[in-house]
């Protein structure tokens, strides 16, 4: 075992569950950057997993599945997952090519501090896809289409929907735009729902979404 003995113990306790909140969060963040630690945790999870067999079943409250389904809105992938998938996508077949290339670009060219989110906004494999990055600390975001071509006389528009608030436009999505500022506070940026709609060329004329979103979803925090 090439891992430092302290880290081996830390990995074991992480899998067992006895670390306190701070230690858990620190380990969760480290495992994203340290493949050896990640592998040690996975090995411990695997060693202990047979105990699941002895855990008695308990029926969950009724109605829960509908609530889960309502939360599936769109595909918002955590960064950790994204890294693993980007590698796979790079090698993957046609169709995923553009997406993989965009992700490889995003991941290769940007450092990923803890408050950075990268999300693929896509409802299903054949639906339009967008890559969105959000930097919570700097309150900036960027979004660009990947494998998403708006019809000639239409534009894609991005919306932020704060809890219990009306959708607010974050602008039209086009390939040329870079980082843009967010005016909402950090809590709202983190909690809000993001949606993409198809609008007349140049964006919604009245500041309201004209139709149902082609995508909606929430940010998934990195590392927790």
Contact residues toward another protein (CB under 8 A) are 8-9, 12-13, 16-21, 24, 28, 42, 44-61, 64-65, 67-69, 71-72, 75-78, 81, 84-85, 124-125, 220, 224
Q: How far is the CB of 155 from another protein (least distance, A)?
A: 26
Task: Specify the residue, 69 or 153, whose C-beta has the smaller distance to another protein.
Answer: 69
Here the tokens at position 65 are 């599945």
**C-alpha torsion sign, points 45, 47, 50, 55:** negative
Task: Specify the residue, 51 or 212, whose C-beta has the smaller distance to another protein.
Answer: 51
Q: Are 186 and 136 in contact (CB under 8 A)?
A: yes
Task: Specify the residue, 76 or 189, whose C-beta has the smaller distance to another protein.
Answer: 76
d(CA 20, CA 14): 9
Here the tokens at position 100 are 């993989």
Q: How far is the CB of 133 from another protein (least distance, A)?
A: 18
Q: How far is the CB of 150 from another protein (least distance, A)?
A: 22
Q: How far is the CB of 52 from another protein (least distance, A)?
A: 4
Classify residue 14 as exposed, middle or buried by CB count within 10 Å of its CB (0-12, 13-18, 19+). Answer: buried
Q: Are 156 and 128 in contact (CB under 8 A)?
A: yes
Task: Specify the residue, 65 or 212, whose C-beta has the smaller distance to another protein.
Answer: 65
């Amino acid at each position: 075992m090439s891992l430092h003995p302290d880290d081996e113990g830390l990995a074991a306790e992480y899998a067992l569950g006895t670390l306190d909140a701070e230690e858990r969060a620190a380990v969760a963040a480290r495992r994203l950057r340290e493949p050896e630690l990640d592998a040690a945790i996975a090995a411990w999870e695997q060693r202990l997993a047979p105990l699941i067999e002895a855990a008695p079943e308990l029926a969950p409250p009724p109605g829960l599945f509908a609530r889960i389904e309502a939360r599936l809105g769109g595909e918002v992938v955590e960064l950790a997952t994204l890294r693993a998938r980007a590698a796979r996508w790079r090698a993957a077949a046609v169709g995923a090519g553009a997406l993989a290339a965009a992700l490889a670009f995003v991941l290769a060219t940007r450092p990923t501090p803890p408050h950075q989110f990268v999300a693929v906004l896509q409802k299903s494999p054949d639906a339009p896809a967008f890559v969105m990055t959000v930097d919570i600390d700097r309150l900036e975001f960027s979004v660009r289409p990947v494998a998403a071509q708006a019809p000639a006389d239409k534009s894609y528009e991005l919306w932020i929907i704060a809890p219990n608030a009306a959708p607010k436009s974050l602008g039209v999505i086009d390939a040329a735009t870079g980082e843009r500022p967010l005016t909402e506070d950090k809590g709202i940026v983190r909690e809000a729902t993001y949606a993409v709609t198809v609008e007349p060329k140049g964006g919604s004329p009245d500041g309201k979404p004209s139709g149902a979103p082609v995508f909606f979803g929430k940010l998934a925090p990195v590392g927790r």
